Structure 1
Amino acid sequence: MSHMSESLVIRGPGQLDLEALPVQAPAENELIVDIKLGGICGSDLHYWKHGSSGASVLTDPMILGHEVVGIVQQAAADGAGPTAGTPVAIHPATSCGTCAQCTAGRSHLCLDGRYLGSAAHRPHTHGGFTTSMVVPRRNVRPLPEGVPLEHFAMAEPASVAWHAVNRAGSVTGRRILVIGAGPIGLAIVAVLRLRGAGEIVVSDLFPRPLDTARRLGADRTTSPGEPGGEETNVDFDTTFECSGTPAGLSQAVEATRGGGDVVMVGNQRVGDVPFPAARAISKELRISGSWRFQNEFDEVVQALASGQLDLTPIITHIIDWSDYNRAFELASRPSESSKVLLAIGPRHQVDAK
């Protein structure tokens, strides 16, 4: 007999509610995980505000969330994998394994791939903002005992950042600009510092995330239109565009030296956006897209476990999930918050930050 799980379900713009839903019976190679923390991502906010995220449009009720960590409640019946009581992070992607992208080692570009809390396919893929969920063993990563789960709550966005930095090639000793100090941009700063970048400059509209960027290793921060900053805000070897705005893309092309790299990380709106192509051509820039991640998730979990990477400064709030509307409103205000975590389950299980 299945038991019930409390889940945060989106039905349309602004239609977010906690609902009791049955937990399916796990297959031999699946575990049941009690989710403890869930990070609110930009895509979650888009579903909440617009009922869609990019080209993914809600047509049915869906459990949100893909940045989740928890504790194994029930081990896989086949006896393999982590045992009950093990803290785990959950890799949110599942790929087909057989298409041309998967066989070429680009499983994150699988056209038939699934991602937790995504309306890209129908039926939609339910997410991890739920008290208990069934997870295939291959998507579960055991975490070390004794390290607070909060340290791993940023594993998924950090993997996006790790993959983006990989897209740029070697960053050792390079002069680097990061445009947009949201959670991904901030995680990129930390990864760049870990990888031995020479100088890291971060640009954002708001003072609060720029303060966090400096804590994570940025050498200098700047705001667009800041007086006197223009002459020093050019000739970067590599620029990471993390704002997802046409203005940020233009700034990236302008600020990068001839022969340099621009990595586009922030999601631009669907359809055409203005792009200074002539400048990109005459400067012979390498323009790369960066989309999600694959094996980087394991490297990030290791870096977080060892303490090499500490992303807790990016977590600004941990809010009991019964207060989900306030959490989503706060997460949608970048001047006030970076990463907002939901404490999932009974209130006493996670201390509010």
Structure 2
Amino acid sequence: MTNRAITLHGRHDLRLETAPDPAPGPGEVRVAVSHGGICGSDLHYWADGGIGTIRVREPIILGHEFAGRVESVGDGVEGLALGDVVAVNPSQPCGSCRFCDEGLAHHCLNMRFTGSAMFLPHEQGGFRDRITVAAHRCAQFSPDTDPAHAACAEPLAVCLHAAAQASDLAGKRVLVTGAGPIGALCAAVARARGAAEVIVTDVQDATLAVASRMGATRTVNVAREPSALDAEAEEKGRIDVAFECSAAVPAIETAIRCLRPRGQLVQVGVAGTTPLPLNMLVAKEIAFLGTHRFGPEFVEAARMIDDGTIDVAPILTHEFAPEDCEAAFVTAQDRARAVKVHIRFGG
């Protein structure tokens, strides 16, 4: 049986090709991929040929948000059986560098991340019919869980890790800037963590509508209502915690302006060198917190999807066949109508 794979050869050069399909060895399982989500990093590889200084230097199978069903099991694997719904953790820390030794495996100096061009040879991704992986990387779901939902474990894990950077959200007033997949999921996590209010901003009504379905108590189109948050900035600010998911300078400035003294700004969105209003940041003693990937939150994300604590269905706006991968990437880039775009392999 052919193992189709969506392979990037260079900027705007996606091809549906055949990938190797090895049988699982000891401790491994072969997963028939059902759904793979297009992430912002996939879009950067496709549109720009890389991310920052990371360049695509050889053909790479994209995709690190994916789930499917176990198709075959290697020797010594326990706890997984044929047909089980699983999501595959893309992180592969070395386990022996100084950060792994410190319990910070998500900062591993030798991290191999599925679908990443960081190292050469590149780490091939999950946009393919079948993939063989170490069994310990699989998070298991109930048999009736939709694999499309399971494929959202990775982005949800990112948001859970972001929430862990902040203090207790219970009863807090939270601002989320940017209503893409990560912003919408951050809103859902904030509500699940007991936030009293969750305000989400964006410049697109379609994505804000999704954020409302994900738990936002108020949405603001800042392009149409540029002064709508002025009241939140009064008396040195009224927001307790902000999750900045856009990396847009105006959004960062708005978050800092609206945060109360000793509030917390968790920077989730990524960009290059970015100007900051340091005077406000310092004067209000705001804690500016970075967040990077995830660790044990991957398993937590799988559990929250599986038990219905967080319903990811509202963010799933589009689905394409592998043959239509080019259209899928074009759609995923269209923030006016798309949130999370999936490629369905059918495993």
Pair in the same fold by TM > 0.5: yes
Q: Deviation of residue 79 (structure 1)?
A: 3.8
Q: Unpaired runs of 5+ in structure 2?
A: none
1:321 aligns with 2:329: no
The SS at the match of 1:150 is: helix
Partner of 1:71: 69
Percent pairwise identity: 36
CA distance in 2, matches of 1:99, 1:54: 25
Contact kept, 8 Å, 1:177 with 1:202, in 2: the verdict is yes
1:86 aligns with 2:87: no
CA distance in 2, matches of 1:208, 1:267: 22
Which of 250, 257, 261 matches 1:258? 261
Residue correspondence of structure 1 range 296-311 to structure 2 within 5 A: 296-311=297-312
- Count how many residue pairs are aligned between Structure 1 and Structure 2: 342
Partner of 1:147: 145
CA deviations 1:166-222 (Å, max 9, x no partner) are 111201111110000000000011111111101110110100111111112111111
CA distance in 1, matches of 2:80, 2:70: 7
CA deviations 1:20-68 (Å, max 9, x no partner) are 1222343311111111100000000001101102332100100000000
Partner of 2:334: 333
Give the AA of the match of 2:47: K
Partner of 1:279: 280
CA deviations 1:212-247 (Å, max 9, x no partner) are 111121111112251541322322111111002222
Distance of aligned partners of 1:263 and 1:79 in 2 relative to their CA distance in 1, 3 Å threshold? closer
CA distance in 2, matches of 1:338, 1:239: 21
Q: Unpaired runs of 5+ in structure 1?
A: none
Structure 1 residues 69-78 or 242-251, which shifts more? Answer: 242-251
Contact kept, 8 Å, 2:140 with 2:302, in 1: the verdict is no
Residue correspondence of structure 1 range 92-241 to structure 2 within 5 A: 92-224=90-222, 226=225, 228-234=227-233, 235=237, 236-241=239-244
CA deviations 1:49-90 (Å, max 9, x no partner) are 011023321001000000000111111222424122211110
The SS at the match of 2:35 is: strand
Which of 6, 30, 33 matches 2:4? 6
Aligned Cα root-mean-square deviation (Å)? 1.4
CA distance in 2, matches of 1:120, 1:283: 38
Which of 247, 250, 261 matches 1:247? 250
Which of 4, 17, 20 matches 2:18? 20
The SS at the match of 1:22 is: coil
